[in-house]
Amino acid sequence: MPPTTRKELQQKINATLWAACDTFRGVVDPAEYKNYILVFLFLKYLSDVWKDKLEQYRQQYGDDEERIQRKMQREPFVLPENATFDYIVSKKQDDQIGQVINTVLEHIEDHERNREKLSGVFRGIDFNSEANLGRVKDRKRRLGNLIDDFNKPILDFRPSVIGSMDVIGNAYMYLIERFASDAGKKGGEFYTPHEVSQLLAQLVAPKKGERICDPTCGSGSLLITVAEEVGGRDFAVYGQESNGSTWALCKMNMFLHEMDARGIQWGDTLNNPRLKEENNELMRFDVVVANPPFSLDKWGAENAGEDPHRRFWRGVPPKSKADYAFICHMIETAYEGHGRVGVIVPHGVLFRGGSEGKIRQKLIEENLLDAVIGLPANLFYGTGIPAAILLFDKGRGDNKNVLFIDASQEYDSGKNQNHMAEKQIGRAVSVFKAYKAGACEPGVVEDKYAYLATFEELAENEFNLNIPRYVDTFEEEEPVDMEAVQHKITELNGRLSELEDQMEGYLSELNLKF
């Protein structure tokens, strides 16, 4: 029975795509086979859009093939001859089907119309890999199954059939989330749980016309969620990702969400920032968000003192923990006067001493820190530790207070992951917005949940931001009635004595000793 609603269509598409992963399960690691599935999804989307447009122009211009081809060459993506999903279907029985797919992707990427947008996107994936997909016979069988899975009617992505592009973008995000869950620790390297992205998006509140950046963008889930918070398309997105295959996933994710992916760069943000202006200065942004790798080791501290962009002038973070290196980069790339920064960090960032403590103190003394929000444990893939969100604002004016929110108990338990529901997200956002509107006085804002600390309090605490120092979550235990407890013990002892006498009588009748 065909789906009758948008929601049912989305669910059916999601389920069909997830089932397609059976081709690789048990053969290829989930962190690897995600690339095959997501690239194939992108290829199918490009092919179906191309086919739909071609049919539209043929209906419009009849036999005027020259005019049709001129029109087709102006499309956002151009698919050369023999470089479509349908062509791959026609070659399914070819023993070298893996190389056929590689060649199709190469031709699409190299076309002059696509080169600027897709350069390098498909280079890191090999559909003819013996190491990943097996020898010729096994490879042919697996890729044949994959082709059949994507050739099902439910995966007809022609705009004239599915309508809104949201369905494809949602399916892509669905797959990335499932892959992250399956990949365990590696999953956290390319995906931020959606509810955390939603919370951060609402906290930084991007506006129309703003530049939004994620310097550790992974597959783009956080960046896209923040951009969608704007409403409409009046924004510009930028990002950088160090892992080449993950960068490629991010580029495709942007296209499938109808966002301009030209600002998504490949490279190490700390050692080789790629987002620069024509004068080689770092680009500046209205909103900078990130979920950097927690406490990254060997991040390049040995070169940080000579950083040409002076990002680490407050001090060089320890070589074994890059948390403050990312924070400093983000703050330096936010516009003076109004730039906002939201970063997800491990709790150690709040209280560790040494060079980190000195940097933290300077950030507070510069009046940049706006809020500290504690998150529940076990929200993120690959780690059960609790994290926090730090919010910085380069336009705080005379306000030197810092809001602390302890949302660590605001979650729904899951089998493998905990989750924050909309109501729980809404509570934190509501308190933060009230604070930004000037509706909060220093002291307790919400009992056992939020506290507004003055600069003087922070200084008294030696700029330690550990949330329990400010938000008192201690629960008083009910007083114990010792007299009632003693009475209960006496009552139980009496009952025990009665039972022993009764048992002794039963055993005597059986000529047994107690």
The ranges assigned to domains in the chain are: 6-163, 208-469, 480-514
Residue pointed to by tokens 């992916």: 261
pLDDT of residue 489: 80
| pLDDT confidence tier of residue 490, bands split at 50, 70 and 90 | confident
pLDDT tens-place string over residues 357-369: 999 999 999 999 9
What pLDDT does 450 receive? 97
- What number is the average pLDDT over the span 325-329? 98
Q: Provide the pLDDT confidence category of residue 165 given band limits of 50, 70 and 90.
A: low
- Over the stretch 222-261, which tens digit does the pLDDT of each residue have? 999 999 999 999 999 999 999 999 999 999 999 999 999 9
| 8 A C-beta contact, residue 455 and residue 401 | yes
Whether 474 shows a pLDDT value over 70: the answer reads: no
Q: Does the pLDDT value for residue 483 go beyond 80? A: no
**Better pLDDT: 169 or 31:** 169
The CATH superfamily label for domain 208-469 reads Vaccinia Virus protein VP39 (3.40.50.150)
Residue 417 pLDDT class (50, 70, 90 cuts) = confident
What is the chain's Cα-based Rg?
29
CA-closest candidate to residue 227, choices 219, 218, 238, 216: 238
Burial class (CB in 10 A: 0-12, 13-18, 19+), 381: buried
Q: What single-letter DSSP state applies at residue 76?
A: S
Q: pLDDT tens across 379-411, in order?
A: 887 677 889 999 999 999 889 999 999 999 988
Residue 477 scores a pLDDT above 60: no
- Best CATH choice for the domain 6-163 from the list 1.20.1260.30, 3.30.1490.100, 1.10.10.10, 3.30.420.40: 1.20.1260.30
At residue 184, does pLDDT exceed 70?
no
The model carries a pTM of 0.89
- CA atoms of 14 and 442, how far apart (whole Å): 48
Per residue in 425-442, is it b (16+ CB within 10 Å) or e — as a string? bebbbebbeebbeeebee
Res. 479 pLDDT band, cuts 50 70 90 = low
Instruction: Check residue 513 and give its pLDDT.
Output: 59
